[in-house]
């Protein structure tokens, strides 16, 4: 499990993109370098999705995160806000203020912020704060690539990256789909190792940005991320991506530099 996912698995993706293993993928041998054949319709759609992602500078949205444990059937739903800056480097901020379990709601205060170098986890209830270095300070790569991000949320989708890792299929519309969306399914190719065995993405038909992402992992746990009231390419103050420690007393603060070889 990589450090980024281990940190997030504590709450967001009691994914367990919060006991599952890392969503970051590894590639074994030549098979991982192959690309899959797709229909002309899918090929054109992926080109359009990549173009839409290239035009995305910032995004702000309401966030709903559902987690259903496959064996136990336990369901949790979190509500909050999500902010994204394409950078480079790419940055994100996810805040959760409400948890719904078995029909009972309670307030929570969880925040995950990535500033391009450091990932901060802030739990206002427990007053714990962990700031973990994820990349070298001069690494301007984009960490939001699908399959390499703590969130399976493809906001920087590249067709070549997708086809090198996944078999892609356009799914027929269903009454359960979010309104005005296109449904695409991604299945990891042989030789690509990741915990998710299936990723379903619903793209907005107009913006071609993801509105919903659902994943199933090897333990049959299901995670669903919904973005609502999406606003794009508006100014987002730098303070949204501030990973400095909270001020005031009573906080348990940990700072974890990048380990050699990570």
The residue extents of the domains of the chain are: 3-256
**Which residues does the chain have with pLDDT short of 50?**
1-32, 144-145, 147-148
Q: How far apart are CA 5 and CA 148, in angstroms?
A: 10
Burial class (CB in 10 A: 0-12, 13-18, 19+), 58: middle
CATH of domain 3-256: 2.50.20.10
Dig out the tokens for 24 from the structure: 């970051």
> How much is the CA Rg of the chain, to the nearest whole Å?
18
Collapsing DSSP to helix, strand or coil, 227 comes out as strand
- CA–CA distance from 226 to each of 135, 137, 229 (Å)? 28, 31, 10
Assess contact for 112 and 119: CB atoms under 8 A: yes
Collapsing DSSP to helix, strand or coil, 112 comes out as strand
Beta-bridge mates of residue 129:
122, 253
Cβ atoms within 10 Å of 46's Cβ, excluding its own = 20
What is the model's pTM?
0.81
Dig out the tokens for 99 from the structure: 């948890």
What is the reported pLDDT for 141? 56
Mean of per-residue pLDDT scores for the chain: 84
What is the reported pLDDT for 151? 58
What is the reported pLDDT for 110? 96
What is the reported pLDDT for 143? 53
């Amino acid at each position: 499990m990589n450090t980024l996912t281990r940190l997030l698995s504590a709450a967001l993706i009691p994914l367990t993109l919060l006991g599952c293993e890392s969503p970051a993928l590894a590639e074994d041998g030549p098979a991982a370098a192959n690309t899959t054949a797709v229909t002309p319709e899918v090929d054109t759609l992926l080109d359009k999705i990549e173009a839409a992602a290239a035009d995305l500078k910032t995004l702000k949205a309401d966030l709903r995160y559902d987690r259903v444990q496959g064996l136990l059937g336990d369901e949790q739903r979190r509500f909050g806000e999500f902010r994204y800056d394409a950078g480079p480097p790419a940055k994100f901020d996810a805040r959760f203020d409400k948890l719904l379990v078995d029909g009972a709601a309670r307030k929570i205060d969880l925040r995950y912020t990535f500033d391009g170098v450091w990932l901060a986890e802030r739990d206002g209830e427990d007053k714990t704060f962990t700031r973990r270095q994820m990349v070298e300070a001069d690494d301007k790569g984009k960490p939001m690539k699908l399959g390499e991000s703590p969130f399976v949320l493809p906001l920087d989708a590249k067709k070549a990256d997708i086809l090198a890792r996944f078999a892609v299929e356009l799914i027929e519309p269903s009454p359960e789909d979010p309104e005005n969306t296109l449904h695409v399914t991604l299945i990891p190719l042989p030789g690509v190792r990741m915990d998710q065995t299936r990723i379903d993405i619903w793209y907005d038909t107009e913006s071609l940005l993801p509105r919903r992402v659902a994943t199933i992992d090897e333990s049959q746990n299901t995670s669903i991320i919904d973005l609502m009231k999406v606003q794009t390419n508006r100014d987002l103050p730098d303070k949204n991506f501030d990973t400095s420690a909270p001020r005031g007393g009573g906080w348990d603060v940990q700072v974890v530099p990048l380990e050699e070889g990570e």
